[in-house]
C-alpha cells in the first residue's frame, strides 16, 4: 500500500464512523434496516452524504486551535 492508499483507507474508516454517528436509525436503535442510512451504503454514498459534516468537524478543530493559539498569545492562559 502506498501512502495515499493508507490515507484513503483511514479517511474511509473515519467517514464510515461519521455515517454511523449521524445515522438516525443507530441513534434511536431502530430494528429495521431500512431506517439505517449507515447500512448498505457504498463509499461514494457515504462520502457524498457526510462530506460537509466531516468538513465542518475539521473546520471546528482548526477554529478551536486558532482560538487557543490566540488566547495563548494574548496571555489569557486560564481559558486553555
- Nearest CB to Zn ion, comparing residues 26 and 57: 26
Helix orientation angle between 3-21 and 43-74, rounded to the nearest 10 degrees? 90
Minimum CB–partner distance for residue 46 and Zn ion (Å): 12
The residue ranges that bind Zn ion (CB under 5 A) are 23, 25-26, 36, 38
Indicate the residue among 26 and 71 with the shorter CB distance to Zn ion.
26
What 8-state DSSP symbol labels residue 76? -
Q: How far apart are the first and last CA of the chain?
A: 39
Shortest distance, CB of residue 37 to Zn ion, whole angstroms?
6
Planar angle of CA 20, 34, 28, nearest 5 degrees: 50
Distance of CA 2 to the CA centre of its chain: 23
Q: Give the shortest CB-62-to-Zn ion separation in angstroms.
A: 28
Nearer to Zn ion, 34 or 78 (CB): 34
Amino acid at each position: 500500500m502506498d501512502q495515499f492508499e493508507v490515507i484513503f483507507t483511514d479517511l474511509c474508516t473515519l467517514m464510515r464512523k461519521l455515517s454511523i454517528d449521524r445515522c438516525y436509525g443507530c441513534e434511536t436503535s431502530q430494528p429495521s434496516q431500512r431506517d439505517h442510512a449507515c447500512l448498505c451504503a457504498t463509499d461514494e454514498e457515504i462520502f457524498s452524504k457526510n462530506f460537509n459534516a466531516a468538513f465542518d468537524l475539521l473546520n471546528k478543530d482548526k477554529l478551536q486551535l486558532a482560538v487557543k493559539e490566540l488566547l495563548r498569545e494574548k496571555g489569557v492562559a486560564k481559558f486553555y
